Amino acid sequence: MEEIKIDGELHKRLHEINTFQCVDNELYLRGKDEWGKDFTVCFDAFNFLDWIDTEQIEYIKEQTIKYIQNK
């Protein structure tokens, strides 16, 4: 199982989210990566909310619906 790097940047997939936590302005998403290993992503909660607003959530929903309909 090799790490996937594109232009020197590590790419990972949080394949299965099983834990969500927000404490001390840190937002955690935990789950399994593309290889089935435990994986955690930590975001600055304020920055996450600043970037992911209603418009982005709506876009994610639209793209997911397209994916499901074309599957």
What's the total number of domains in the chain?
Answer: 1
- pLDDT in the model for residue 1: 60
**How far does CA 12 lie from the centroid of its chain?**
9
Structural domain for 56, as ranges:
4-70
- pLDDT in the model for residue 71: 83
Write the Ramachandran bin of 18: left for phi over 0, alpha for psi from -120 to 50, otherwise beta: alpha
Low-confidence ranges of the chain (pLDDT < 50): none
Beta bridge partners of 42: 28
8: tokens are 């020197």
CA 42/CA 14 separation, integer angstroms: 12
What pTM, to 2 d.p., does this model score? 0.74
- pLDDT in the model for residue 23: 97
